[in-house]
């Protein structure tokens, strides 16, 4: 009996050792797929590059390559804000110096563009010794005219365009926002939101201090919230708080995916979402493949009605007829997923061991179960 247990233990031990080794070997010998994609990210305060980290994870794990046959690199292969180590000032590498002819040529050679974030960098995001101009709070950010020209050209040429949360929100100016909305038949309501597991500012460093400050100015009462809740913020600084138990029957926003989209992209029909989102609508030219749902009670319903906020609104807006356009109405590409796992083929089969499903703040659950299969399937369509 003891010998059988020893043999069993040895077998399990060898499996644990050899499985990741073979997964890595298979990843290394898997074919590479050329895909010339431009990533635009203007919100990179640190080398962690969270705002486009998920996308590069997928590109590397699926072995998509640049024109030089090299895999994409997290801190190199994007357009936008580049932080630096030590006392050196940041760098900005984007399309600002491109002429109209250069933009048109770029749209010819690109296969896809993914705008992951244009919120930008503010003075509070960087050490003082990296900021030469302290007269302005906004250092860099917002969608620019020639970037809009690029994706408009991509649209005309039937190329893949992926955009998400904050592409056209503040600090993008209203003129560019208006042109973008008209070009792609979407409309931002001005509202953004996020779930917080704790609304007590003294207990939650993740809660921006400006939210209680603006709320107190708006309602002329002290910030009194605690426990979890959903914060909704309008472009005009109006703030609505949906607190657990008081306004919510279920504290987290939930993404509901249509049956057709669930089958096509291998997505769960229902998944909780704990991070930033916006309330944006698609016009008749687009399809809504997934929607957010806020589970409010009667008190919460009344509060939403007071501000004309819907409790169900689009999460994924798509146009896939004359051109391919996706708008993800959330900060979906922002995830703390570890880049180490990109080197293992089939690692998603073990995804349930790589996040804590009991931790409602763990965004890796959303990455493994929703973002990864969705992005993987969208990109694979480009190979066909």
* Per-residue pLDDT at 8: 53
SS3 208: coil
Q: Do strands 112-117 and 37-41 pair parallel, antiparallel, or not at all (unpaired)? A: parallel
* Per-residue pLDDT at 129: 53
- One digit per residue, pLDDT tens: the chain, 384 residues? 555 555 555 545 555 567 889 999 999 999 999 999 999 999 999 999 999 999 999 999 999 999 999 999 999 999 999 998 766 788 999 999 999 999 999 999 999 999 999 999 998 887 765 655 554 689 999 999 999 999 999 999 999 999 999 999 999 999 999 999 999 999 999 999 999 999 999 899 889 989 999 999 887 888 989 999 999 999 999 999 999 989 999 999 999 999 999 999 999 999 999 999 999 999 999 999 999 999 999 999 999 999 999 999 999 999 998 899 999 999 999 999 999 999 999 999 999 999 998 899 999 999 999 999 999 999 998 876
210 is a domain residue: no
Q: What is the pTM of this model?
A: 0.93
* Tally of structural domains, the chain: 1
In Å, the largest CA–CA distance within the chain is 77
* Per-residue pLDDT at 89: 81
Backbone angles phi, psi at 108, to 5 degrees: -70, -40
311 is a domain residue: no
Give the Cα separation of 83 and 257 in Å (integer): 36
14 is a domain residue: no
Range of the domain at 359: 31-166+331-384
353 is a domain residue: yes
* Per-residue pLDDT at 127: 73
* Per-residue pLDDT at 60: 98
260 is a domain residue: no
| Axis crossing angle, helix 145-156 with helix 100-109, rounded to the nearest 10 | 40
48 is a domain residue: yes
Give the Cα separation of 335 and 148 in Å (integer): 26
* Per-residue pLDDT at 131: 58
281 is a domain residue: no
Q: Please tell me what DSSP assigns to residue 252.
A: S
Beta bridge partners, 213, equal: none
Asked if the peptide bond before residue 291 counts as cis, ω within 30 degrees of 0, the response is no
Token pair listed for 372? 């990864």
Across the chain, the runs of DSSP E, i.e. the strands, are 33-34, 37-41, 64-65, 79-82, 91-93, 112-117, 121-122, 138-140, 160-164, 186-196, 229-234, 239-243, 254-257, 270-272, 277-282, 287-293, 312-320, 324-328
230 is a domain residue: no
């Amino acid at each position: 009996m003891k010998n059988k247990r020893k043999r069993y233990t040895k077998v399990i031990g060898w499996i644990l050792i050899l499985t990741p080794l073979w997964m890595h070997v298979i990843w290394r010998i898997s074919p590479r797929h050329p895909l010339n994609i431009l990533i635009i990210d203007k919100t990179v305060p640190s080398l962690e590059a969270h705002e486009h980290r998920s996308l590069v994870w997928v590109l590397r794990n699926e072995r998509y390559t640049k024109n030089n046959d090299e895999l994409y690199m997290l801190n190199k292969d994007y357009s936008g804000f580049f932080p630096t180590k030590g006392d050196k000032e940041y760098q900005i590498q984007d399309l600002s110096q491109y002429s109209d002819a250069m933009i048109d040529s770029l749209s010819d050679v690109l296969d896809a563009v993914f705008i992951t974030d244009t919120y930008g960098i503010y003075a509070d995001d960087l050490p003082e010794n990296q900021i030469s101009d302290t007269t302005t709070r906004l250092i860099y950010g917002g969608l620019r005219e020639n970037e809009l020209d690029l994706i408009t050209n991509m649209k005309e040429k039937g190329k893949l365009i992926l955009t998400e949360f904050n592409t056209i929100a503040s600090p993008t100016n209203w003129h560019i926002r208006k042109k973008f909305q008209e070009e792609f038949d979407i409309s931002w309501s001005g509202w953004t939101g996020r779930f917080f597991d704790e609304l007590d500012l003294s207990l939650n460093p993740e809660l921006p201090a400006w939210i209680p400050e603006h709320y107190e100015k708006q309602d002329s009462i002290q910030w009194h919230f605690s426990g979890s809740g959903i914060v909704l913020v309008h472009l005009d600084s109006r703030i609505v708080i949906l607190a657990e138990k008081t306004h919510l029957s279920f504290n987290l926003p939930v993404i509901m995916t249509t049956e057709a989209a669930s089958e096509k992209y291998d997505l769960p029909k229902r998944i909780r979402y704990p991070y930033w989102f916006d309330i944006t609508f698609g016009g008749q030219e687009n399809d809504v493949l997934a929607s957010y749902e806020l589970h409010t009670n009667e008190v919460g319903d009344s509060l939403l009605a007071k501000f004309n906020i819907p409790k169900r609104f689009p999460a994924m807006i798509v146009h896939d007829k004359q051109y391919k356009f996706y708008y993800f109405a959330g900060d979906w590409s922002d995830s703390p997923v570890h880049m180490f796992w990109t080197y293992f083929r089939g690692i998603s089969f073990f995804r349930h061991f790589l996040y804590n499903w009991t931790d409602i703040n763990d965004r890796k659950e959303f990455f493994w179960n929703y973002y990864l299969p969705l992005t993987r399937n969208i990109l694979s369509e480009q190979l066909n």
